[in-house]
Each structure stands twice: as C-alpha cells, then as structure tokens.
Amino acid sequence: MNRLKVGIVGATGYGGVELIRLLSNHPHFHIYSVYSSSQQHVQMVDVYPHLANVPYTLEQIDPVKMAKDVDLVFTATPSGISSKLVPQLINEGLKVIDLSGDFRLKSEELYEKWYKKPPAPNQYTKQSVYGLTEWFGEEIHSSSFIANPGCYPTATLLGLAPIVKKKLIKEDSIIIDAKSGLSGAGRSLSNVSHYAEINENMKIYKVNQHQHIPEIEQVLHRWNEQIKPITFSTHLVPMTRGIMTTIYVTLKESIGIESLYKLYEESYLDAPFVRVRKQGTFPSTKEVSGSNYCDIGLTIDERTNRMTIVSVIDNLVKGAAGQAIQNANLMMGFEQQTGLHVLPVYP
C-alpha cells in the first residue's frame, strides 16, 4: 500500500518533533514535509540535533502548495495561530488534525474569556470534532477536521468519563489536582522553565484559571448536563514528561469498589490505550512515558464516601502527538493503534 503523505506545521515545537518521532515508524503515513512560520529553509537537524540522520528541511506555510503535496496536515501551532491557518487549509480541501486549543471550545464567548484572544471563525469551529478518541471514535471516523484535546483534559476526561456518564457522583463535587512535567510548557524560554529555577522545585500555577477548564466542562456537560463548575489546579513538577491528575469526587450513594472497577474495565474494554490498573495499585507517570497509554487507578474512602481517581499520560504522546495520530488513524480508516505500538520507556 502506498503511504499517505502528511505534513506537519509547527515542527519545531515539542508537539511537532514528537509527531516526527512517532510517524517515522508509521506503516501508512509518510511525512512528506514539515513547516514552520518562523524558521524556513532551515534543516530540522540544526534545530534538533537528535534528528541527525533525518533529512527534513523546514518549509514555508503555503496552503495552496500544501494541498498539492499532502493529504493530511497536523497543525502543532500555538493557539492564536491555528485559528487563522486552519481555515485556509480546510478551504484547500486538506484534512486537518489541529493540536492547538483554537477549535476545541464551541462557544466563542468562552474562548475569548479563557484564551484572551479572538476566536476562530465559528463556521470552522462548528465543523471540528473533539478528538478524545476513546469516546468520540465514530464522529472522528467520519470527520476530516479534528480538534485534538489538550493534555490535561485528556487525562482528566478519561478518568472521569465512566462515573460522570453513569451519574454516580455529586455534580458539584469535582476537584482535579493536576501535575505536569515541564515539556508541557513548551519550548519557548521563560523564567519558570529555566533549569535552575524549576529543578528541585514544585510550583502551582493558573489556579482555577487554566484555559483547559472550559474544555473539560464542555465535554462533561455532553455526558451529564447537571455537572457544575469544577475546581482545577495545575502544578509543575521537576520532570520533562508526564501528567498525573488526581481527581476527587463525592459519590451520590455508596458503591462497592468492585462494581466501580467493573464499570471502568467495561468502559475501556475496547480501548487499547487505556489500562485500568489492578485494584489496590495506582499508576505513576513514568509507567506510560514515551507511549500512548493512559493508565487509571481508583479507590473509595469509606470514611468520606469520596472516590479518588488517578490517571496518568505522557503529555506529548496521549496528551498531544500520539492521540493526534490515533485520531488520524481512525479518520483514514486504519486501526487506531497503527504506528503506536510502542511500550513505555522504562526506566
């Protein structure tokens, strides 16, 4: 079979370079060209020396030419850039997987409030399908434009989906304490990401102000309209990769832990990348590092009737490039695991 030609826009960011790593072993996709708005005619190896034997040269973004060259485009561009670029790509007939946050929120008002930027044209946002593969697979399959989920929402929503859909929890009880490694903050230099500042350190940031909050709530509402505003905190942890979300919810009624595990296991029976862990154990972030897995652990505290859910992902894989490929697979009619059969890199 001929491999499909794909393009990567924003190839110099961490999401872009992770797409290159994962796609380099994909049997059906072939990276035909890589693009950057800031660096053109530069070789990838000069930006990322670890790609010493990978011959890509960064090209200018030209939607017309792109439409001639490739079938599918991954846009790993920042919010505020995708909103302008993606409509042009769609108009040229390209299939698009957008990794930015620009098309995830259906409400322009919410986008403006949380992103503090002008929203993308609504006609495009409406077309986009939210790419949480495990729960919206059918829509993804019949779509040609995916808004790939944020890293925190992916971990959070996979952890919450079964109990929210079953309406087992008090609607105003959701508290999410999220922790992330530094690659989530991207490659742009900042004082917060300066090694001597964040090594041997742990920081909380954007308390109740993270732009992933409305994204999470939007999906929760699709599953259960009664869900109330969530409490959501994000922390930086001195490691490069990995997200852990520790989720606290109050159960409406007492449920046995066995039933709860059964619910989760059945919910993810056909989800090759979600691993519900053995009862009594919890996942740690390195146990999914470099892979597309989301691992989940659960417990109930009888003293409080609260449930604690722990879900972990590699923010650059299941939280970005891996899920993007998983979605591209479904969109093109391949098995979702195609090209993503990689075990975690451990230790």
- What's the alpha-carbon Rg for the chain, to the nearest Å? 20
Q: Binding segment for its own copies among 81-89, 114-122, 185-193, 260-268 (CB under 8 A)? A: 185-193
Amino acid letter, 6: V
The number of CA neighbours under 13 Å toward the Cβ of 103 is: 31
SS3 34: strand
The interface mask with its own copies, positions 98-137, x = CB under 8 A, is: ----------------------------------------
Using CB under 8 A, which residues numbered 31 to 60 contact its own copies? Answer: 45, 48-54
Among 95, 104, 179, 318, binds its own copies (CB under 8 A): 179
- Which of these ranges, 31-39, 128-136, 303-311, 328-336, lies near its own copies under the rule CB under 8 A? 303-311
Question: Residue 60 Cβ, how far from its own copies at the closest point, in Å?
Answer: 23
C-alpha to C-alpha distance for 263 and 252, rounded to whole angstroms: 16
| Of 91, 190, 226, 259, the one binding its own copies by CB under 8 A | 190
Which residues, 214 to 273, sit near its own copies by CB under 8 A? Answer: 228-231, 233, 235, 237-242, 244, 246, 248, 272
Task: List all residues 6 or more positions away from 198 whose beta carbon is below 8 Å from its beta carbon.
Answer: 182, 192, 236, 238
> The tokens of 48 are what?
């990322």
Q: What are phi and psi of 271, to 5 degrees?
A: -105, 100
Output the smallest distance, CB 41 to its own copies, in A: 17
Centre a 10 Å sphere on the Cβ of residue 121 and count the other Cβ atoms it contains.
Answer: 14
Determine the Cα–Cα distance for residues 230 and 69; give it in Å rounded to an integer.
Answer: 44
Question: Is 294 a known active-site residue?
Answer: no
Interface with its own copies by CB under 8 A: which range of 83-91, 123-131, 218-226, 287-295? 287-295
Q: Catalytic residue among 70, 76, 151, 324, which?
A: 151
The residue type of 46 is D
Question: Which of the residues are catalytic?
Answer: 151
